[in-house]
Amino acid sequence: MRALAKTHAGPGLELIDRAEPECGPSDVKIKVLAAGLCGTDLHLEQWDDWAAGQVHPPMVIGHEFFGEIVEVGADVTSCSVGQKASGEGHVVCGMCRNCRAGRRQMCIAVDSVGVNRDGAFAEYVIVPDTNVWVQPDDMRPEVGAVFDPLGNATHTALMFPLVGEDVLITGAGPIGVMGAAIARHAGARYIVVTDVSDYRLDLARRAGADMVVNVANTRIHEAQTTLGMTEGFDVALEMSGNPAALRETIENMNHGGRIALLGLPKEAFAIDFGRVITHMLTIRGVYGREMFETWYAASAMMHTSELLRQTVGSVITHTVPLEEWPRAFEAARSGECGKVVLDIAGVL
């Protein structure tokens, strides 16, 4: 099969031919139709310090995917050949304290598809049956491929109650844009989204943001003035991983405000903990999705929210054949895009 792999410890990827993966007794083999390109994949291609500490080449990368089940192991009863499916990319140990207590998203020994085990930028991928999320037969492949980041957006946006709250979202990448639509669906009052890309801010505006702010030339407090806010934001979703974004977020929070952090910074940085303490702020880290409550919530919202369905569709701005993968990575790095999806099987 064709597969996009990290073949050596260093920058770059290669499109290679390799044997199809074999299905174990509790595994499911999925023919990949479409796969989403994530910021993690950019780190792996560039081979930064984080990537070097995580990946042991050779490794097929890619963890956001949708396809058709073509084989199930002898012990599998939860799904069947012919069904369409996405997959939860975090394979958990099942035996640590968190796993045994039902907090699988907090597993201390997680094995990530496309990072620690072969991934989905390939014609076939293997995952445990417990990681399969069966999708409707009429699911569009490119939409099914972004359920992983939709889950990130759902987990982060619903970390705190949003009804009647003023919400700040820093970072208008695909997850931030989907987060805006979820916040609108969940009953937020004002939603303000920031970024330095006008292209992405336009996507956020169409996703339900009341105001977008290009922080390259405008400050967040000006949005408060424009909207008539007098006490600061109640909830913030930090999606960018940019130190300046978190610092400015803290400056604009109401007393008792709550901040959910999803954006992963490249290195450690300082923040004003004095303000965190005196303003009694809650800061909570978010990683991945809650297994599997987030998947149920995301699927339900896709069924009930026309705005979210439109947003998920519109946030997919580029579909690129697998053999043209450098063009996909170039688009994702440019910032002039939403979600980039690789067409693995020639179906888009």
Residues 252-309: pLDDT tens digits?
999 999 999 999 898 899 999 999 999 999 999 999 999 999 999 999 999 999 999 9
Q: Note whether 151 and 298 are within 8 A (CB).
A: yes
Q: Note whether 128 and 294 are within 8 A (CB).
A: no
- For residue 272, the model assigns a pLDDT of 97
Cis peptide before 292 (omega within 30 of 0): yes
- CATH for 2-150+290-343 is 3.90.180.10
Reduced to 3 states (helix: H, G, I; strand: E, B; else coil), residue 4 is strand
Question: Is pLDDT of 145 > 90?
Answer: yes
Question: Is pLDDT of 140 > 90?
Answer: yes
77 included as an active-site residue: no
Mean pLDDT of 118-137: 98
CB neighbour burial string for 259-269, b if at least 16 within 10 angstroms, e if fewer: bbbbbeeeeee
User: Which H or E run includes 308?
Assistant: helix 306-315
The amino acid at residue 66 is F
Angle of helix 198-206 relative to helix 306-315, nearest 10 degrees?
Answer: 160
Radius of gyration of the chain (CA): 20
Distance CA 40, CA 117 (A): 14
What percent of the chain clears pLDDT 70, i.e. is strictly above it?
100
Reduced to 3 states (helix: H, G, I; strand: E, B; else coil), residue 250 is helix
Angle of helix 174-185 relative to helix 293-304, nearest 10 degrees?
Answer: 70
Cβ neighbours around 125 below 10 Å, total = 30
CA torsion, points 92, 95, 101, 104, in degrees to nearest 10? 0
**Which has more pLDDT, 61 or 54?**
61
- For residue 120, the model assigns a pLDDT of 98
Q: Note whether 71 and 14 are within 8 A (CB).
A: no
155 included as an active-site residue: no
User: Which H or E run includes 90?
Assistant: strand 90-91
CATH T-level fold of 160-285: Rossmann fold (3.40.50)
Question: Is pLDDT of 335 > 90?
Answer: no
Mean pLDDT of 33-48: 94
- For residue 266, the model assigns a pLDDT of 82
Question: Is pLDDT of 336 > 90?
Answer: no
Q: Both tokens of residue 63?
A: 């963890």
8, 43, 194, 218: the active-site residue? 43
Lowest mean pLDDT among 40-49, 68-77, 188-197, 270-279: 40-49
Q: How confident is the model at residue 12 (pLDDT cuts 50, 70, 90)?
A: very high
Reduced to 3 states (helix: H, G, I; strand: E, B; else coil), residue 126 is strand
40, 154, 170, 311: the active-site residue? 40
Residue where the block lists tokens 């930064």:
48
The rounded mean pLDDT for the chain is 96
Give, rounded to a whole angstrom, the gap between the first and last alpha carbons of the chain.
19
pLDDT per residue as tens digits for the range 88-120: 999 999 999 999 999 999 999 999 999 999 999
8: left (phi over 0), alpha (psi -120 to 50) or beta: beta
Question: Is pLDDT of 8 > 90?
Answer: yes
Question: Is pLDDT of 218 > 90?
Answer: yes
pLDDT per residue as tens digits for the range 283-298: 999 999 999 999 999 9
Question: Is pLDDT of 49 > 90?
Answer: no
What residues does CATH 3.40.50.720 cover in the chain?
A: 160-285
Question: Is pLDDT of 183 > 90?
Answer: yes
What residues does CATH 3.90.180.10 cover in the chain?
A: 2-150+290-343
Distance CA 151, CA 35 (A): 15
Reduced to 3 states (helix: H, G, I; strand: E, B; else coil), residue 62 is coil
* Nearest residue to 344 (alpha-carbon basis) of 126, 5, 32, 21: 32
127: left (phi over 0), alpha (psi -120 to 50) or beta: beta
Cis peptide before 58 (omega within 30 of 0): yes
- For residue 50, the model assigns a pLDDT of 85
